[in-house]
Structure 1
Amino acid sequence: MNPYQEKIGIKMWAEADRPREKLLLNGRRHLTDAELIAILIGSGNKDETAVDLSKRILGFYNNDLDALGKVSVKDLSKFKGIGEAKAIAIVAALELGRRRKEADGPDVLKIVTSADAFAVLQPVFADLNHEEFWILILNQANYLIGKQLISKGGMAGTVADPKIIFKTALEHNAAYVILAHNHPSGSLRPSQQDINITKKMVEAGRMLDLYVLDHLIVTDKLFYSFGDEGLI
C-alpha cells in the first residue's frame, strides 16, 4: 500500500484538526456533528479515525440527529468500533440535549391554541419509538400547572384509562385538561379508537365540570388537533 494512502490517526493530525483541540481553540460551535460525536467516543478502530467512524454512523441515519436520537444502545453497538460504553455515551449525550430543549422556555405558560400545547408536548414525545399518553393540566386562566404521563404502550398503541386521567387532574385542582398521545409511525390520522376515547373523555369531563379542551396526536414535527378539526 502506498504510505501516503494509509489512514492517519487523530493524534497525527495537525492540532487544529483534532476535535478536542479544535473545540478548545475555536469553541464548540465550530465543530461538525461528526467531530462532536468523535469527542464522545474517543477513538475509532484500526481502519478509521473516530471522526470517520462518526461520519459513517451519521451517514447511516442520513445525517439526521433526530433519527440518531431514537437509536438504542444495541443498534449503535452494531457499528464496528462502537462498543457498549461508547454507545451509551452517545445515547446519554443526545438525551441530555433533548432534556435541555424540554427545559427551555418560561416557567409559567398559558395555553391558548393547539400550537401552544404542541410546543409543550413536542419535547415530551421526541425520539420515542413507542406510544405514550399524556395530559396537560390547566387552571381556570388556561395556565399550565402540570403535565403527567398516563400510560405507555408499544408501537401500535397505548391504553388511556379515564379514571386515572380525571383522578390525576382533580388532584391538581385542574379546570381543564388537554389529552395527547404520539404516533411513532408518523401518521397523523386518528384511529377509530382515538375518536371513541376522545368522545368518552369529553362527556366524562362535562359531568365533572372538568373540561377537555383538546386532544393532540403528535409526531416528530407535526400534530393533529381534535379541537381544530371540530371534533371536540
Structure 2
Amino acid sequence: MDPQKSSSFTIKHWAEGDRPREKLLQKGRQHLTDAELLAILIGSGNKNESAVEVCKKVLSKAGDNLNELGRFTINQLMEVRGIGQVRALTIVAALELGRRRRSSEALEKKKISSSTSVFELMQPKIGELPHEEFWILYLNNSNKVIQELPLSKGGITGTLVDIRLAYKQALNLGATATILVHNHPSGNLNPSAADKQLTQKFKIAGESLDIKVLDHLIITENSYFSFADEGLL
C-alpha cells in the first residue's frame, strides 16, 4: 500500500477494533465506554469480531458490571471467544490496578473521620472476596491509621479471630484505638450473634489495656453496617 494513501485514511476507514485508541486521543478517556476501554487492553478481536465486540461479550458475561468482572478468574475470562490467557491476564491486572488505586486514595486521607472513611479504605480489600476475612485497624491518638492487619480468613460461614494476637500487636505499635472490620460474602449486612459477641470481647479486652474499640464494620460489595453508627458499642 502507498504510504501516502494510507496516511490519509480517516477514522471511519479504520478497523472498528482500532477506533477506541483514536477516540481516546481525540476526545479523552471519559468519552469511552467500558467495552472500548477493555478493547484497548486486548488490542484486537478475532476473525469475525472486533476487539470492541469481543469486550462487549466479556462485559455481558459479567452482567455489564465491572465489580463483577473484577471477580472473574483467568479461566472464566478465557471462556469468551477471542480472550486467550494473555488477554485474560491483562484484563485481570488492569482491574486489580483500579482496585488498588481506590485503596491508595483512601490511604492518602489516612485519618479516620467516620464509618464511611473506613468503608472506603477497606471495601477494595475485602468487599468483593468470596470468603470471609477479619481485619483490624490500629489508630494513634489522632485517629490516623498506623497499620491494617488481617487477623484471619475463613469459609463463607465464618472465621476465627485471636484477640490476644490482635492486642499484642496493638501494644507493639503503641496504638490507642482499634477498628474491627470483616466482610459478609453473602451480602447480608445484619450482624450475627457471633459478630456481636466478638465485638464485646474485643471491647472488654481493650478496656483493660486502655485501647478503645471505636467501631466494627461489616462490609459487602456496595454497603456496610457500622456498630458505632447503630449504637451497638
- Indicate the TM-score class for this superposition, using the shorter chain for normalisation: 0.7 to 0.9
Note closer, same or farther for the CA distance 1:13–1:133 as it changes in structure 2 (3 Å cut). Answer: same
Question: Aligned partners of 1:220 and 1:68: how far apart in 2?
Answer: 13
Equivalences for residues 54-133 of structure 1 within 5 A? 54-105=55-106, 107=108, 109-133=110-134
Question: Aligned partners of 1:21 and 1:142: how far apart in 2?
Answer: 46
For 1:69, the aligned partner's letter is: G
Q: Which digits, 9 at most, give the CA deviation of each residue in 1:93-137, with x for residues without a partner? A: 000011111111573533233223223222222432222111111
Shift of the alpha carbon at 1:203? 1.1
DSSP-derived class of the 2:108 partner = coil
Partner of 1:5: none
Note closer, same or farther for the CA distance 1:27–1:114 as it changes in structure 2 (3 Å cut). Answer: closer
Shift of the alpha carbon at 1:11? 11
Tell me if structure 2 keeps the 8 A contact 1:131–1:152: yes
Q: Which runs of 5+ in 2 are unaligned?
A: 1-10
For 1:215, the aligned partner's letter is: H
Tell me if structure 2 keeps the 8 A contact 1:15–1:21: no
Question: Aligned partners of 1:134 and 1:44: how far apart in 2?
Answer: 42
DSSP-derived class of the 2:182 partner = strand
Tell me if structure 1 keeps the 8 A contact 2:17–2:45: no
Partner of 2:195: 194
Tell me if structure 2 keeps the 8 A contact 1:108–1:144: no
Tell me if structure 1 keeps the 8 A contact 2:134–2:161: yes
Tell me if structure 1 keeps the 8 A contact 2:115–2:226: yes
Q: Which digits, 9 at most, give the CA deviation of each residue in 1:117-168, with x for residues without a partner? A: 2232222224322221111111123222222222222323222211221122
Question: Aligned partners of 2:142 and 2:25: how far apart in 1?
Answer: 48
Stretch deviating more after TM superposition (77-86 or 87-96)? 77-86
Note closer, same or farther for the CA distance 1:14–1:78 as it changes in structure 2 (3 Å cut). Answer: closer
Q: Which digits, 9 at most, give the CA deviation of each residue in 1:26-71, with x for residues without a partner? A: 3322221101111111222223211101011112222111111111
For 2:143, the aligned partner's letter is: N
Question: Aligned partners of 1:214 and 1:183: how far apart in 2?
Answer: 16
Please provide the CA RMSD for this pair: 2.3
Partner of 1:177: 178
Stretch deviating more after TM superposition (87-96 or 37-46)? 37-46
Tell me if structure 1 keeps the 8 A contact 2:141–2:176: yes
Identity of aligned residues (%): 52
Shift of the alpha carbon at 1:205? 0.9
Question: Aligned partners of 1:87 and 1:64: how far apart in 2?
Answer: 17
Give the TM-score, by structure 1 length.
0.87
Would you say how many aligned residue pairs link Structure 1 and Structure 2?
Answer: 223
